[in-house]
Chain A
C-alpha cells in the first residue's frame, strides 16, 4: 500500500476485555514501531521490530501488553484484560533500515476502555 495502515481506526471495549490492534507497514520497511499517545501528551515508545530480529520490548508498560510481527511485515499489538488507563491513541510507524530516521506513521487506533 501507499502508507502505513492501521485497523481498527476506533475501538471501544469494556474493562477486562482483550483487544488486538493491527499495523500494516509500508512494503519493504524493515523497522516497525508502536507508540502510545494519551490525550494532549507526547509519544510513549512501546515496542520495536527490526526485520526478523527479536523485538525490543523495553517500552511495554506491563505484561498485559504483547506484540508480534509475522513474516517481517504485519504486526499485531495485543492488550489483555484492558484497564481504563489503557485508553489512548496507539500509533504504528515504519521506516527503512536501522537509522530511526524519517518514520512514516499510520493514522492510529483510538482505544477507549469503558
Chain B
C-alpha cells in the first residue's frame, strides 16, 4: 500500500525561483527521507529528518516535518537547471525493508 504521497505530481518553475514539494503519509514513522532521481535511473539520497525533528537544512534544501499532520515539505531555494529531476519521499516505519516505502514522486522542471 502507498505510504508516502507527493504533491504536486509535476512542477515547472523559472530558474532562480524556490520549489516546494509536499509529502503526506498515513502511519507513524521513525524518519522520512527525500531522494532525487535524474532521468529515471538511480536515486540519490538528499536528506533525512527524524520523527522528533521539525526542520532540517542542507545547503539549498530545507525539509520540514509535521507529525501531527503526517506531512513533510521539501524546499529547494534559488533553483538551478540542474535541479530538474524527480523527487521522492520515503517513510521509514521500521520492521525490515518493507518498512521503507517510497511515494510516486514529484517531477520538477526548472526552466532556464
Contact = CB atoms under 8 A, between A and B. Distances in A.
B98 A58 contact: yes
Contacts of B99: 100
A106 to B, nearest CB: 6
Interface in B79-112: 88, 92, 94, 96-105
Q: How large is the interface on A (under 10, 10 to 19, 20 to 34, 35 or more residues)?
A: 20 to 34
B41 A89 contact: yes
Given A101-B92, A103-B43, A42 B104 contact: yes
B52 to A, nearest CB: 15
A105 B44 contact: yes
A59 interface: yes
B97 A41 contact: no
A102 B98 contact: no
A58 B2 CA distance: 16
Identify which of B33, B43, B99, B104 gathers the most chain A CB atoms within 10 Å of its CB: B43
Contact of A89 (B35, B40, B45): B40
Given A37-B40, A100-B94, 20 more contacts: A31-B97, A39-B40, A42-B2, A42-B104, A43-B88, A43-B102, A47-B97, A48-B97, A50-B97, A56-B97, A59-B97, A89-B41, A93-B43, A100-B100, A101-B48, A102-B33, A103-B45, A105-B44, A107-B42, A108-B42
Report, nearest first, the 5 A-B pairs whose CB atoms are least far apart.
Answer: A48-B97, A105-B42, A42-B104, A43-B102, A100-B100
